[in-house]
Amino acid sequence: MDIIDAITSRHACRAFLDTPVDHKLVQKILDTARWSPSGTNMQPWQVAVVSGGSRRSLTDKLIAARETGQQENPDYPYYPLDWYEPYKSRRRATGLALYSALNIQRGDTERQKQAWYDNYRFFGAPIGLMFFIEERLSQGSWVDMGMFIQSVMLAATGLGLATCPQFALAEYPDIVRAELAIPPELKLVTGMSLGYADPAHPLNSYRLERVPVEDFTRWYE
């Protein structure tokens, strides 16, 4: 697949087939992504790959935490505390597209809750990826992490797989670290679902808009 096609066709897949993913494919994805750039070649990324019973156990523990009202404690704030424009409208449009695809009506709290729990179920994907970074590293290494994660998604797209990056999987990092025996100095950046997309599912039928280049670019000559 052409790299331009991979970038423009990649999307957050929220419904996967239960088709197994060969671990050799996961290895190839990570083997490709390791060539991502990083400042002074620091390569700050750490990855945990979960599948099978490990993935199911992690799912159960994350859902149990939410069900019992356990307070989220992510390792860093991903979203702003106060939403403002234009980001507030973009967020609202994203939620509306999701609930419309699922035909979830306003006020249907139970179905909304189950839709959120699907994050913890990795949307049915057989593989979950959890991305970590050492606590002592600075913001530049987090930029490098972003490039690495994008490389993972593009490599997966090029191999016919689908992905969904999910900060929801990083809401309870202490649970994830305990379940996977990850040391506390490794901070959880995000999680990701990986597998084969279910083309018939309505969640994979919509695409979110992107603003045109003119809206975010200044030219200086």
Domain extent listing, the chain: 3-210
Q: What is the pLDDT of residue 107?
A: 81
Q: What's the pLDDT score for residue 102?
A: 85
State residue 103's pLDDT score.
86
Question: 174 Cβ partners below 8 Å, 6+ apart?
Answer: 73
- What does the alpha-carbon distance between residue 120 and residue 60 come to, in Å, rounded to a whole number? 8
pLDDT of amino acid 37 = 98
pLDDT of residue 65: 97
Number of Cβ within a 10 Å radius of residue 87? 11
Return the pLDDT at 108. Answer: 83
To which residue do tokens 């959120």 refer?
116
Host H or E run for residue 127 = strand 127-134
C-beta of residue 32 within 8 angstroms of C-beta of residue 209: no
> Quick one: pLDDT at residue 111?
87
Mean pLDDT by 10 residues, the chain (221 residues): 93 96 97 98 98 97 96 96 96 89 84 91 98 98 98 97 98 98 98 97 90 96 96
Do 14 and 194 touch, CB atoms closer than 8 A?
Answer: no
Find the helix or strand (DSSP H, E) in which 84 lies. none
Distances (CA, A) of 170 to 81, 124, 132, 213: 17, 18, 10, 31
pLDDT of residue 205: 87
In this predicted structure, what is the pLDDT of residue 191?
A: 98
pTM: 0.95
CATH of 3-210, one of 3.40.109.10, 3.40.50.300, 3.40.640.10, 3.40.50.1820: 3.40.109.10
Q: CB neighbours (10 Å) of residue 214? A: 8
**What pLDDT score was predicted for residue 100?**
86
